[in-house]
A and B are shown apart, each in its own frame.
Chain A
Amino acid sequence: MNEKDIIEQLVEELTPIKINKGPGMRSLLWLVGNLVLLFFVLNLISPIQLKMGEVSLHFFVEVALFFLALFTGAFFFFLSLIPGATKTRKLGIVSLGISVVLVASVWFPGKIIGGMRSYCEVEILLFSLFPILSFVYFLKRNDFYNIRWSFYLLGFSSALLCTFLMFFFCTNEPWHVFLFHLLPVFIVALICHFWGMRRAN
């Protein structure tokens, strides 16, 4: 089949295209959908521990920072699916940047709220599958253009979504947050990163 035939065939197959929503809107839909779903699932397993009286400005800033990191991760993941919208180096810097900021933020603790649970890391590893699968719905037949960092962000955002919810269901004690909330995020992100590397090769 030569080039002309291919063009003819592609033209023949053309139907009106449903244009993908922008990365901001897609991230927001993905975030809200998964947050609501996982909130209810986690609440069924162990009820919410946070009491309104305990919320301090420090806690609010911490939550806002994690939410921002979560949104940034998801936004850049969706952005990386648009051909030519971003460069691999930029994706790498953003991915590592938000990872470093989150790890650093843990070591500025405020008032410790909530009691420790021993199974939150398992929940994070397990429930990160929900957001990963829902990403697949948003992807449809999308090609990847920066596959390694896209996959890193896919794993990172998915696991971070569960970690974010741990603010309401678990403690914010620094070592616990670092070992049992943040490390699983990086484990999932790295697994996805290597998965992307395998796909790329």
Chain B
Amino acid sequence: MKLRLVEHNCDIMIDNKEEIKYLLIQTQKGDKKAYHLFLTKLSPYITKKVRFRIFNEGDVADVVQECLISIHRSLPTYDSKRDVLPWVVAITERRIVDYIRKKNRQMKLQNELGPNVTNEEFVAKYELEDLKILDQLPEVTKKAIELTKLHGHSTKEAALKLGLSEDALRARISRGLGRIQEMVREESNNE
């Protein structure tokens, strides 16, 4: 039996709500196979729900992972007398809201700090011994970082040059800087 749920104009397919509920009850008893199946069946549903609110693909994956971890932590709170989906949706919504708040905070901080970051500070902050690391970023992200952080352009100027909105530019810079930090960390771990 296939149930089709329409929530927030987003079509979501769940094979069988009863099956999901059964798997969750078995999970609470410690059945690892049931838990694996439960998470595997649920993750496309969560992904779709997250993708409806968050447009950045890289961030969607992160938020979905956060949701899965949150579901794991919330297992003791599920009462078998209740439906599974409202339980899952509440957890997912909470993680999405947390993500949006975190992003807003980051944006605010970046707006405050942005103009004060000089070239040397930037290079030192991200431990960039050479700037080749930037080549590993997508072209637009690389250009956005170069213009704002290395050549001292304002976000407005850089956004105009690249044909992006200021918000989109800030998002790209934020993602790019995150990626650089990851690469530097990976490199130092390998060493």
**Residues of A with Cβ closer than 8 Å to B?**
1-3, 6-8, 10-20, 22, 81-85, 141-143, 145, 200-201
Complex contact B68–A84 (CB within 8 A): no
Cα A200 to Cα B105 in complex, Å, equals: 12
Enumerate B110-125 residues with CB–CB distance to A below 8 Å: none
Cα A14 to Cα B37 in complex, Å, equals: 13
* Residues in chain B near residue A142, CB distance under 8 A: 74, 77
Question: A72: shortest Cβ distance to chain B, in Å?
Answer: 19
Complex contact B86–A84 (CB within 8 A): yes
Q: Can you report 6 residue pairs joining A to B where beta carbons are below 8 Å apart?
A: A6-B65, A7-B68, A10-B39, A14-B32, A17-B75, A142-B74
Enumerate B37-77 residues with CB–CB distance to A below 8 Å: 39-40, 43, 61, 64-65, 68-70, 72-77
Given contacts A14-B35, A19-B79, A20-B76, are A3 and B65 in contact (CB under 8 A)? yes
Given contacts A3-B64, A84-B89, A85-B82, are A10 and B77 in contact (CB under 8 A)? no
Enumerate B72-115 residues with CB–CB distance to A below 8 Å: 72-79, 82-83, 86-91, 94, 101
Complex contact A20–B30 (CB within 8 A): no
Cα A145 to Cα B88 in complex, Å, equals: 12
Smallest Cβ-Cβ distance to A15: which chain B residue: B30
Complex contact A83–B94 (CB within 8 A): yes
* Residues in chain A near residue B64, CB distance under 8 A: 3
A10-B39, A17-B30, A142-B77 known; 9 new pairs, CB 8 Å cut-off, are: A3-B61, A7-B36, A7-B39, A16-B28, A17-B76, A18-B76, A84-B90, A143-B94, A145-B91
* Residues in chain A near residue B8, CB distance under 8 A: none
Given contacts A83-B91, A84-B82, are A3 and B43 in contact (CB under 8 A)? yes
Complex contact B101–A201 (CB within 8 A): yes
* Residues in chain A near residue B61, CB distance under 8 A: 2-3
Residue B27, interface by CB 8 Å? yes
Cα A84 to Cα B87 in complex, Å, equals: 5
Residue B132, interface by CB 8 Å? no
Cα A20 to Cα B75 in complex, Å, equals: 9
Cα A134 to Cα B68 in complex, Å, equals: 29
Complex contact A143–B68 (CB within 8 A): no
Complex contact A22–B79 (CB within 8 A): yes
Residue from A6, A20, A84 with most neighbouring chain B CB atoms (10 Å):
A84
